[in-house]
């Protein structure tokens, strides 16, 4: 895996770190491929329940590496799109741990995550329009379902920076923490999520993500197709036995 992306695994939680602090963690081809490779690996592992995406140093990510863009270094991974995640996010829950700037494609990486822990000093924005570009890595598609319509328009059309506090008030940021505490707080958050069974977590995420366009007539049938295998899993049996025996469950991801 490229040094542009670092990974660490402990207690069922995998941390993926964009490691280009000298470039404010701008996303180039190496970052996109590194994130994609990490996601492919971690999604396939039964010992991992939750992922965290963060940036090294003082910033999450300033977005696409414009120097790389000009030289033809595409910041995409085949089948997963920009940053190796925006078009096909992990099947498992993923938490963004945000310090400093999460701008342009960096903000779009955040929007591809399921939960967001942000420093009180973090700044978000989609400045593409001020560069003659368009936020095509999911920002325009995801924002309207995450924040009120007019706020989504303000973010997209002004290209300005928005504080973590304002986005938390709008419901986008899950948890605000002091500067420097985003990753530790995200790990604590992930530990809470990881108390759930891996298969059940992935299925729950899938239903929430996919059900937005299900009709009322088909919703329960489609949900059933996703969740029925979970009820027959070894982890479901373990959950019931652990409850009856008054002990913590030991999940196998099976």
List the catalytic residues. Answer: 108, 128
The rounded distance, in Å, linking the Cα atoms of 28 and 12 is 28
CA end-to-end span of the chain, whole Å? Answer: 27
Cα gap 8→110, rounded to integer Å: 19
Contact 22, 28 (CB under 8 A): no
d(CA 176, CA 122): 9
Distances (CA, A) of 230 to 46, 73, 224: 14, 42, 10
DSSP state of 172: -
Which tokens hold the place of 223?
């949900």
């Amino acid at each position: 895996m490229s040094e542009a992306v670092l990974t660490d695994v402990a207690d069922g939680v995998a941390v993926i770190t964009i490691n280009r602090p000298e470039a404010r963690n701008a996303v180039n081809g190496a970052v996109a491929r590194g994130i994609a490779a990490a996601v492919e690996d971690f999604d396939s592992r039964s010992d991992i329940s939750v992922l965290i995406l963060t940036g090294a140093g003082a910033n999450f990510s300033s977005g696409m590496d414009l120097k790389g863009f000009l030289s033809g270094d595409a910041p995409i991974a085949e089948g997963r799109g920009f940053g190796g995640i925006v078009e096909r996010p992990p099947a498992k829950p993923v938490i963004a741990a945000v310090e400093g700037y999460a701008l342009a494609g960096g903000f779009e990486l955040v929007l591809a995550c399921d939960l967001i822990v942000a420093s009180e000093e973090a700044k978000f924005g989609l400045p593409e329009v001020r560069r003659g570009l368009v936020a095509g890595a999911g920002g325009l598609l995801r924002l309207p379902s995450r924040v009120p319509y007019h706020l989504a328009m303000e973010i997209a059309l002004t290209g300005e920076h928005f504080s973590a506090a304002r986005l938390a008030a709008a419901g986008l940021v899950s948890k605000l923490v002091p500067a420097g505490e985003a990753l530790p707080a995200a790990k604590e958050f992930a530990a809470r999520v990881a108390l759930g069974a891996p298969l059940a977590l992935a299925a729950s995420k899938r239903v929430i993500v996919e059900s937005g366009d299900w009709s009322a007539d088909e919703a329960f049938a489609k949900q059933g197709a996703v969740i029925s295998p979970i009820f027959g899993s070894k982890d479901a049996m373990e959950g019931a036995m652990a409850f009856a025996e008054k002990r913590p469950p030991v999940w196998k991801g099976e």
